[in-house]
Protein backbone atom coordinates (compact mmCIF):
# COMPACT_ATOMS: atom_id res chain seq x y z
CA UNK A 1 0.00 0.00 0.00
CA UNK A 2 1.63 3.29 -0.99
CA UNK A 3 1.57 6.36 1.21
CA UNK A 4 -0.58 8.41 -1.17
CA UNK A 5 -3.29 5.75 -1.38
CA UNK A 6 -3.27 5.28 2.40
CA UNK A 7 -3.81 9.00 2.93
CA UNK A 8 -6.68 9.03 0.42
CA UNK A 9 -8.21 6.13 2.38
CA UNK A 10 -7.93 8.29 5.51
CA UNK A 11 -9.86 11.10 3.87
CA UNK A 12 -12.53 8.67 2.70
CA UNK A 13 -12.70 7.11 6.19
CA UNK A 14 -12.96 10.51 7.89
CA UNK A 15 -15.83 11.43 5.56
CA UNK A 16 -17.82 8.24 6.12
CA UNK A 17 -17.51 6.13 9.28
CA UNK A 18 -14.26 7.16 10.92
CA UNK A 19 -15.46 9.25 13.81
CA UNK A 20 -16.87 8.88 17.32
CA UNK A 21 -19.56 10.99 18.85
CA UNK A 22 -18.61 12.29 22.25
CA UNK A 23 -15.67 14.46 23.17
CA UNK A 24 -17.07 15.09 26.66
CA UNK A 25 -18.19 18.71 26.34
CA UNK A 26 -21.73 17.82 27.42
CA UNK A 27 -20.22 17.33 30.90
CA UNK A 28 -19.35 21.05 31.05
CA UNK A 29 -22.07 23.61 31.80
CA UNK A 30 -21.49 27.34 31.98
CA UNK A 31 -23.03 29.24 34.86
CA UNK A 32 -25.32 31.81 33.29
CA UNK A 33 -24.42 35.47 33.92
CA UNK A 34 -27.39 37.85 34.06
CA UNK A 35 -25.10 40.88 34.38
CA UNK A 36 -22.07 40.23 32.16
CA UNK A 37 -19.56 43.07 32.39
CA UNK A 38 -18.99 43.52 28.67
CA UNK A 39 -20.49 44.51 25.32
CA UNK A 40 -20.27 42.50 22.10
CA UNK A 41 -17.99 45.26 20.74
CA UNK A 42 -15.52 44.64 23.62
CA UNK A 43 -14.69 41.09 22.55
CA UNK A 44 -11.26 40.38 21.11
CA UNK A 45 -10.58 36.97 19.60
CA UNK A 46 -6.84 37.48 19.39
CA UNK A 47 -4.89 34.82 21.23
CA UNK A 48 -1.35 33.80 22.03
CA UNK A 49 0.29 30.38 21.82
CA UNK A 50 3.57 31.14 23.54
CA UNK A 51 5.37 33.57 21.25
CA UNK A 52 2.88 33.13 18.39
CA UNK A 53 0.02 35.59 18.07
CA UNK A 54 -3.11 34.44 16.24
CA UNK A 55 -5.88 36.82 15.18
CA UNK A 56 -8.41 34.02 15.74
CA UNK A 57 -8.47 31.19 18.30
CA UNK A 58 -9.67 28.80 15.56
CA UNK A 59 -7.29 26.98 13.22
CA UNK A 60 -7.52 24.32 10.53
CA UNK A 61 -5.74 21.26 11.86
CA UNK A 62 -3.49 18.85 9.94
CA UNK A 63 -5.25 16.66 7.37
CA UNK A 64 -3.38 16.67 4.12
CA UNK A 65 -0.58 14.12 4.21
CA UNK A 66 0.68 11.80 1.52
CA UNK A 67 1.40 14.11 -1.39
CA UNK A 68 -0.22 13.79 -4.82
CA UNK A 69 -2.70 15.87 -6.80
CA UNK A 70 -5.65 15.39 -4.44
CA UNK A 71 -3.57 16.63 -1.50
CA UNK A 72 -2.35 19.59 -3.55
CA UNK A 73 -5.92 20.45 -4.38
CA UNK A 74 -7.22 20.27 -0.79
CA UNK A 75 -4.19 22.20 0.50
CA UNK A 76 -4.76 24.95 -2.05
CA UNK A 77 -8.45 25.26 -1.20
CA UNK A 78 -7.84 25.27 2.54
CA UNK A 79 -5.01 27.80 2.19
CA UNK A 80 -7.28 30.20 0.30
CA UNK A 81 -9.96 29.83 2.98
CA UNK A 82 -7.37 30.33 5.75
CA UNK A 83 -6.16 33.50 4.04
CA UNK A 84 -9.67 34.84 3.52
CA UNK A 85 -10.67 34.25 7.15
CA UNK A 86 -7.27 35.11 8.65
CA UNK A 87 -7.07 31.84 10.56
CA UNK A 88 -3.99 29.68 11.03
CA UNK A 89 -3.63 26.40 9.18
CA UNK A 90 -1.61 23.23 9.62
CA UNK A 91 -0.68 21.06 6.66
CA UNK A 92 -0.79 17.28 7.00
CA UNK A 93 2.31 15.17 7.38
CA UNK A 94 5.01 16.34 4.99
CA UNK A 95 6.97 13.09 5.20
CA UNK A 96 6.18 12.22 1.55
CA UNK A 97 7.58 15.56 0.42
CA UNK A 98 10.59 15.40 2.71
CA UNK A 99 11.48 12.05 1.15
CA UNK A 100 10.66 13.04 -2.43
CA UNK A 101 11.32 16.63 -3.51
CA UNK A 102 8.81 16.29 -6.37
CA UNK A 103 6.02 16.26 -3.76
CA UNK A 104 7.13 19.53 -2.14
CA UNK A 105 4.87 21.63 -4.39
CA UNK A 106 1.89 19.94 -2.70
CA UNK A 107 2.81 21.79 0.49
CA UNK A 108 4.56 24.92 -0.83
CA UNK A 109 1.22 25.90 -2.35
CA UNK A 110 -0.11 26.84 1.11
CA UNK A 111 2.61 29.48 1.51
CA UNK A 112 2.19 30.68 -2.07
CA UNK A 113 -1.54 31.14 -1.52
CA UNK A 114 -1.14 32.72 1.90
CA UNK A 115 2.20 34.54 2.06
CA UNK A 116 1.51 36.32 5.36
CA UNK A 117 -0.58 33.66 7.10
CA UNK A 118 0.31 31.59 10.15
CA UNK A 119 1.19 28.09 8.94
CA UNK A 120 2.14 24.98 10.88
CA UNK A 121 4.41 22.37 9.34
CA UNK A 122 3.66 18.75 10.28
CA UNK A 123 5.57 15.50 10.68
CA UNK A 124 5.14 12.27 12.59
CA UNK A 125 6.98 11.12 15.69
CA UNK A 126 9.53 9.22 13.57
CA UNK A 127 10.89 12.45 12.07
CA UNK A 128 14.61 13.17 12.28
CA UNK A 129 16.00 16.61 13.06
CA UNK A 130 17.00 17.05 9.42
CA UNK A 131 13.51 16.16 8.20
CA UNK A 132 11.94 18.54 10.72
CA UNK A 133 14.07 21.43 9.50
CA UNK A 134 13.21 20.57 5.87
CA UNK A 135 9.48 20.53 6.64
CA UNK A 136 9.66 23.94 8.36
CA UNK A 137 11.70 25.41 5.54
CA UNK A 138 9.42 23.95 2.83
CA UNK A 139 6.47 26.15 3.81
CA UNK A 140 8.33 28.83 5.80
CA UNK A 141 6.34 27.58 8.74
CA UNK A 142 5.61 29.68 11.83
CA UNK A 143 5.58 26.53 13.99
CA UNK A 144 6.09 22.79 13.61
CA UNK A 145 3.55 20.21 14.71
CA UNK A 146 4.82 16.76 15.60
CA UNK A 147 1.99 14.25 15.85
CA UNK A 148 1.84 11.36 18.30
CA UNK A 149 -0.28 8.56 16.86
CA UNK A 150 0.72 5.35 18.64
CA UNK A 151 -2.71 3.70 18.43
CA UNK A 152 -3.03 4.48 14.72
CA UNK A 153 0.41 2.98 14.07
CA UNK A 154 -0.45 -0.16 16.05
CA UNK A 155 -3.68 -0.70 14.13
CA UNK A 156 -1.87 -0.22 10.80
CA UNK A 157 -0.35 -3.52 9.66
CA UNK A 158 2.55 -1.57 8.13
CA UNK A 159 2.72 0.88 11.07
CA UNK A 160 5.60 1.62 13.45
CA UNK A 161 6.23 -0.70 16.37
CA UNK A 162 8.97 1.25 18.16
CA UNK A 163 8.12 4.21 20.33
CA UNK A 164 10.63 4.21 23.16
CA UNK A 165 12.87 6.91 21.70
CA UNK A 166 10.15 9.33 20.60
CA UNK A 167 10.54 11.78 23.51
CA UNK A 168 14.30 11.88 23.04
CA UNK A 169 13.82 12.56 19.32
CA UNK A 170 11.36 15.35 20.02
CA UNK A 171 13.87 16.93 22.39
CA UNK A 172 16.49 16.95 19.62
CA UNK A 173 14.04 18.57 17.19
CA UNK A 174 13.06 21.22 19.74
CA UNK A 175 16.74 22.12 20.24
CA UNK A 176 17.39 22.49 16.50
CA UNK A 177 14.17 24.18 15.36
CA UNK A 178 14.05 27.95 15.01
CA UNK A 179 10.26 27.97 15.41
CA UNK A 180 7.99 26.76 18.23
CA UNK A 181 7.33 23.00 18.30
CA UNK A 182 3.76 21.94 19.05
CA UNK A 183 3.20 18.28 19.89
CA UNK A 184 -0.26 16.98 19.06
CA UNK A 185 -2.30 13.84 19.39
CA UNK A 186 -4.58 12.71 16.57
CA UNK A 187 -7.79 11.79 18.39
CA UNK A 188 -6.72 9.74 21.42
CA UNK A 189 -6.15 12.62 23.85
CA UNK A 190 -3.21 13.45 26.07
CA UNK A 191 -2.73 12.94 29.80
CA UNK A 192 -1.23 15.66 31.97
CA UNK A 193 1.82 13.44 32.62
CA UNK A 194 2.54 13.31 28.87
CA UNK A 195 2.11 17.08 28.62
CA UNK A 196 4.52 17.59 31.51
CA UNK A 197 7.13 15.31 29.91
CA UNK A 198 6.85 17.27 26.66
CA UNK A 199 7.10 20.57 28.53
CA UNK A 200 10.25 19.35 30.27
CA UNK A 201 12.01 18.70 26.96
CA UNK A 202 11.19 22.21 25.76
CA UNK A 203 8.07 21.71 23.64
CA UNK A 204 6.30 25.09 23.20
CA UNK A 205 2.69 23.89 23.26
CA UNK A 206 0.59 20.73 23.18
CA UNK A 207 -2.61 20.02 21.28
CA UNK A 208 -4.59 17.40 23.22
CA UNK A 209 -6.13 15.95 20.01
CA UNK A 210 -8.75 14.18 22.09
CA UNK A 211 -11.20 11.34 21.57
CA UNK A 212 -14.67 12.11 20.26
CA UNK A 213 -14.07 13.28 16.70
CA UNK A 214 -12.07 11.66 13.94
CA UNK A 215 -11.24 8.12 15.04
CA UNK A 216 -8.08 6.69 13.48
CA UNK A 217 -8.60 3.31 15.10
CA UNK A 218 -11.89 2.93 13.22
CA UNK A 219 -10.35 4.28 10.02
CA UNK A 220 -7.37 1.92 10.13
CA UNK A 221 -9.49 -1.04 11.27
CA UNK A 222 -11.73 -0.63 8.25
CA UNK A 223 -8.64 -1.15 6.07
CA UNK A 224 -7.73 -4.47 7.81
CA UNK A 225 -9.14 -7.97 7.69
CA UNK A 226 -8.42 -8.96 11.30
CA UNK A 227 -9.62 -5.91 13.19
CA UNK A 228 -8.32 -4.55 16.51
CA UNK A 229 -11.73 -3.25 17.56
CA UNK A 230 -10.56 -2.92 21.16
CA UNK A 231 -8.89 0.34 20.14
CA UNK A 232 -12.09 1.83 18.69
CA UNK A 233 -13.24 3.24 22.03
CA UNK A 234 -9.72 3.98 23.27
CA UNK A 235 -8.63 7.45 24.30
CA UNK A 236 -9.23 10.44 26.52
CA UNK A 237 -12.16 12.61 25.41
CA UNK A 238 -11.07 16.13 24.47
CA UNK A 239 -12.87 17.88 27.34
CA UNK A 240 -11.40 15.39 29.85
CA UNK A 241 -7.89 15.91 28.54
CA UNK A 242 -8.18 19.70 28.62
CA UNK A 243 -9.65 19.62 32.14
CA UNK A 244 -6.93 17.41 33.57
CA UNK A 245 -4.14 19.46 31.99
CA UNK A 246 -5.71 22.60 33.40
CA UNK A 247 -6.08 21.23 36.92
CA UNK A 248 -2.62 19.64 36.93
CA UNK A 249 -1.05 23.08 36.68
CA UNK A 250 1.12 22.11 33.69
CA UNK A 251 2.05 25.57 32.54
CA UNK A 252 2.71 25.26 28.80
CA UNK A 253 0.15 26.61 26.31
CA UNK A 254 -2.56 24.08 25.45
CA UNK A 255 -4.59 23.73 22.27
CA UNK A 256 -7.89 21.86 22.02
CA UNK A 257 -8.90 19.58 19.19
CA UNK A 258 -10.74 16.34 18.60
CA UNK A 259 -14.42 16.52 17.81
CA UNK A 260 -14.68 20.31 17.93
CA UNK A 261 -17.68 20.37 15.63
CA UNK A 262 -19.57 23.41 16.87
CA UNK A 263 -18.77 26.85 18.34
CA UNK A 264 -19.97 25.94 21.85
CA UNK A 265 -17.48 23.05 22.07
CA UNK A 266 -14.77 25.51 21.03
CA UNK A 267 -15.73 28.07 23.69
CA UNK A 268 -15.94 25.32 26.32
CA UNK A 269 -12.38 24.40 25.29
CA UNK A 270 -11.26 27.97 25.99
CA UNK A 271 -12.89 27.78 29.42
CA UNK A 272 -10.92 24.59 30.11
CA UNK A 273 -7.67 26.37 29.31
CA UNK A 274 -7.21 26.01 25.54
CA UNK A 275 -5.62 29.05 23.90
CA UNK A 276 -6.99 27.99 20.51
CA UNK A 277 -8.91 25.11 18.94
CA UNK A 278 -8.21 23.07 15.83
CA UNK A 279 -10.80 21.57 13.53
CA UNK A 280 -10.02 18.79 11.08
CA UNK A 281 -12.88 16.35 10.35
CA UNK A 282 -15.55 19.07 10.49
CA UNK A 283 -13.64 21.24 8.02
CA UNK A 284 -13.01 18.30 5.69
CA UNK A 285 -16.65 17.19 5.72
CA UNK A 286 -17.93 20.73 5.13
CA UNK A 287 -15.47 21.25 2.28
CA UNK A 288 -16.38 17.92 0.71
CA UNK A 289 -20.15 18.00 1.20
CA UNK A 290 -20.89 21.70 0.74
CA UNK A 291 -17.86 23.37 -0.84
CA UNK A 292 -15.38 26.16 -0.22
CA UNK A 293 -17.87 29.02 0.20
CA UNK A 294 -19.81 27.06 2.80
CA UNK A 295 -16.69 26.31 4.84
CA UNK A 296 -15.62 29.93 4.64
CA UNK A 297 -19.08 31.00 5.79
CA UNK A 298 -19.03 28.49 8.65
CA UNK A 299 -15.68 29.73 9.90
CA UNK A 300 -16.88 33.34 9.84
CA UNK A 301 -20.09 32.30 11.62
CA UNK A 302 -18.06 30.54 14.31
CA UNK A 303 -16.17 33.77 15.01
CA UNK A 304 -19.47 35.62 15.39
CA UNK A 305 -20.77 32.86 17.66
CA UNK A 306 -17.62 33.01 19.81
CA UNK A 307 -18.33 36.71 20.38
CA UNK A 308 -21.95 36.04 21.33
CA UNK A 309 -21.12 33.26 23.78
CA UNK A 310 -18.18 35.15 25.28
CA UNK A 311 -20.39 38.22 25.77
CA UNK A 312 -22.96 36.09 27.57
CA UNK A 313 -20.16 34.89 29.84
CA UNK A 314 -18.67 38.36 30.34
CA UNK A 315 -15.25 37.29 29.01
CA UNK A 316 -13.64 39.97 26.85
CA UNK A 317 -10.87 37.79 25.49
CA UNK A 318 -9.56 34.22 25.40
CA UNK A 319 -7.42 34.78 28.51
CA UNK A 320 -10.51 35.82 30.49
CA UNK A 321 -12.35 32.72 29.25
CA UNK A 322 -10.11 30.66 31.53
CA UNK A 323 -11.85 32.14 34.57
CA UNK A 324 -15.53 31.91 33.64
CA UNK A 325 -17.66 29.99 36.13
CA UNK A 326 -18.60 26.49 35.05
CA UNK A 327 -19.80 23.23 36.52
CA UNK A 328 -18.50 19.80 35.53
CA UNK A 329 -20.76 16.82 35.87
CA UNK A 330 -21.20 13.16 34.99
CA UNK A 331 -18.30 11.20 33.55
CA UNK A 332 -15.97 14.20 33.56
CA UNK A 333 -16.59 14.78 37.26
CA UNK A 334 -15.89 11.10 37.86
CA UNK A 335 -12.74 11.19 35.70
CA UNK A 336 -11.32 14.21 37.54
CA UNK A 337 -12.09 12.66 40.92
CA UNK A 338 -10.43 9.38 39.97
CA UNK A 339 -7.42 11.26 38.58
CA UNK A 340 -6.97 12.94 41.96
CA UNK A 341 -8.31 16.40 41.13
CA UNK A 342 -11.05 16.67 43.71
C1 LIG B 1 -5.78 13.90 10.12
N2 LIG B 1 -4.98 14.21 11.21
C3 LIG B 1 -3.62 14.37 11.02
N4 LIG B 1 -2.85 14.86 12.03
C5 LIG B 1 -1.54 15.10 11.83
O6 LIG B 1 -0.89 15.59 12.75
N7 LIG B 1 -0.94 14.81 10.63
C8 LIG B 1 -1.65 14.30 9.59
O9 LIG B 1 -1.10 14.07 8.51
C10 LIG B 1 -3.04 14.06 9.77
N11 LIG B 1 -3.80 13.54 8.77
C12 LIG B 1 -5.18 13.53 8.89
C13 LIG B 1 -5.97 13.20 7.79
C14 LIG B 1 -7.35 13.25 7.89
C15 LIG B 1 -8.18 12.89 6.70
C16 LIG B 1 -7.96 13.66 9.11
C17 LIG B 1 -9.46 13.78 9.23
C18 LIG B 1 -7.18 13.97 10.20
C19 LIG B 1 -5.54 14.38 12.56
C20 LIG B 1 -6.14 15.75 12.81
O21 LIG B 1 -5.17 16.77 12.72
C22 LIG B 1 -6.81 15.81 14.20
O23 LIG B 1 -5.85 15.66 15.20
C24 LIG B 1 -7.86 14.73 14.39
O25 LIG B 1 -8.55 14.50 13.18
C26 LIG B 1 -8.86 15.08 15.45
O27 LIG B 1 -9.56 16.26 15.12
P28 LIG B 1 -11.06 16.24 14.48
O29 LIG B 1 -10.95 15.62 13.13
O30 LIG B 1 -11.91 15.42 15.38
O31 LIG B 1 -11.43 17.69 14.38
Mean pLDDT of 309-337: 98
Mean pLDDT of 166-192: 98
Q: How far is the CA of 85 from the centre of ligand 1 (A)?
A: 21
- pLDDT per residue over 16-60, tens digit each? 888 888 999 999 999 999 999 999 999 999 999 999 999 999 999
- pLDDT per residue over 209-226, tens digit each? 999 999 999 999 999 999
Contact 296, 25 (CB under 8 A): no
- pLDDT per residue over 64-95, tens digit each? 888 889 999 999 999 999 999 999 999 999 99
Q: How far is the CA of 150 from the centre of ligand 1 (A)?
A: 14
Contact 31, 328 (CB under 8 A): no
**Structure letter (DSSP) for residue 62:** P
Cβ of 11 less than 6 Å from ligand 1: yes
Atom of ligand 1 nearest to the CA of 187: 26
pLDDT of residue 7: 86
Reply yes or no on whether the pLDDT at 251 is more than 70.
yes
The pLDDT-based confidence of 3 (bands split at 50, 70, 90) is confident
- The whole-model pTM stands at 0.97
The pLDDT-based confidence of 256 (bands split at 50, 70, 90) is very high
pLDDT of residue 342: 78
DSSP 266-292: HHHHHHTTEEEEEESHHHHHHHHHH-H
pLDDT of residue 21: 85
Contact 175, 201 (CB under 8 A): no
pLDDT of residue 160: 96
User: How far is CA 244 from each of CA 28, 38, 168, 342, rounded to the nearest angstrom?
Assistant: 13, 29, 24, 11
Specify the residue with its C-alpha closest to ligand 1, atom 17.
281
Residue 32's Cα: distance from chain center in Å? 29
Which of 7, 70, 214 is the best mutation target for the ligand 1 pocket, counting ligand atoms within 8 Å of the beta carbon and taking the most?
Answer: 214
Specify the residue with its C-alpha closest to ligand 1, atom 4.
62
Cβ of 284 less than 6 Å from ligand 1: yes
Cβ of 281 less than 6 Å from ligand 1: yes
ipTM of the complex: 0.99
Contact 199, 245 (CB under 8 A): no
pLDDT of residue 119: 98
How far apart CA 54 and CA 295 sit, in angstroms, is: 20
Specify the residue with its C-alpha closest to ligand 1, atom 26.
258
Reply yes or no on whether the pLDDT at 1 is more than 70.
no
- How big is the chain by its Cα radius of gyration, in Å? 19
- Mean residue pLDDT of the chain comes to 96
Q: How far is the CA of 209 from the centre of ligand 1 (A)?
A: 9
Mean pLDDT of 298-319: 98
Residues in the chain: 342
Q: Which stretch of 79-83, 123-127, 221-225, 309-313 has the lowest confidence by average pLDDT? A: 221-225
Nearest to 261 by CA among 246, 242, 277, 240: 277
Specify the residue with its C-alpha closest to ligand 1, atom 19.
186
Reply yes or no on whether the pLDDT at 294 is more than 70.
yes
pLDDT of residue 65: 86
Specify the residue with its C-alpha closest to ligand 1, atom 15.
11
Amino acid sequence: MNREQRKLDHIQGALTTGFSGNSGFDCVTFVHQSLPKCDVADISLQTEIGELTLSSPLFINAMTGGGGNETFNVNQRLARIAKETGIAMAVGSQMAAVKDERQARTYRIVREENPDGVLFANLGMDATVHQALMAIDMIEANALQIHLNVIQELVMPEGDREFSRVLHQIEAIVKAAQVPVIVKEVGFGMSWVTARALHEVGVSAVDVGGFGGTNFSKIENSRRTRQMTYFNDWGIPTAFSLAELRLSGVSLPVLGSGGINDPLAAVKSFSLGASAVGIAGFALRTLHDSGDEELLGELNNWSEDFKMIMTALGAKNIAQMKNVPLVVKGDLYHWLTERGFN
